[in-house]
Structure 1
């Protein structure tokens, strides 16, 4: 298995807007749900996304990270709408 640090670094590399916007971003393994919990927060917008183990592996090898990408894009779209 991989570490939360490895997963976090890969996701930040795939979605540079996380760092560009200064959003808080944390990754931890949730034993109860047997999935990775990704928490993203910017201002009053928050996203909690559960990433199943097999999906996390696909993200790490660069194959696929679609559901997470859609959630992140939607969150940042909401943030941009509120700024105008």
Structure 2
């Protein structure tokens, strides 16, 4: 799994990310051993972490619940 695959899956689940001025970036945080998802719109930004196992299940198409919940909360908090 790499950051581009995870980013594409997020954009697939939430097609409005990456459009309308909403930017998403994904990176692996070695210090926390988790994936970091960063959302930005205008001057507002938020980040969250996903456990590697949760991200992998989503990429396999088996379960994207935790990813969906995290991204929804980020979008709600930033006002997307």
TM-score range, shorter chain: 0.7 to 0.9
Q: Alignment RMSD, CA only?
A: 1.8
Q: Deviations over 1:24-69 (max 9, x none)?
A: 1111100000000010111233221101010010110122222332
Greater helix proportion? 1
Q: Structure 1 unaligned segments of length 5 or more: list them.
A: none
Structure number, greater radius of gyration:
1
What is the number of equivalent residue pairs in this alignment? 79
Corresponding residue for residue 48 of structure 1: 47
Question: Does 2:26 align with 1:27?
Answer: yes
TM-score, normalised to structure 1, is 0.77
Corresponding residue for residue 2 of structure 2: 3
SS at match of 2:17: helix
User: What is the rounded CA distance, in whole Å, between the counterparts of 2:65 and 2:46 in structure 1?
Assistant: 15
Q: Structure 2 unaligned segments of length 5 or more: list them.
A: none
SS at match of 2:18: helix
Displacement, 1:12? Answer: 0.8
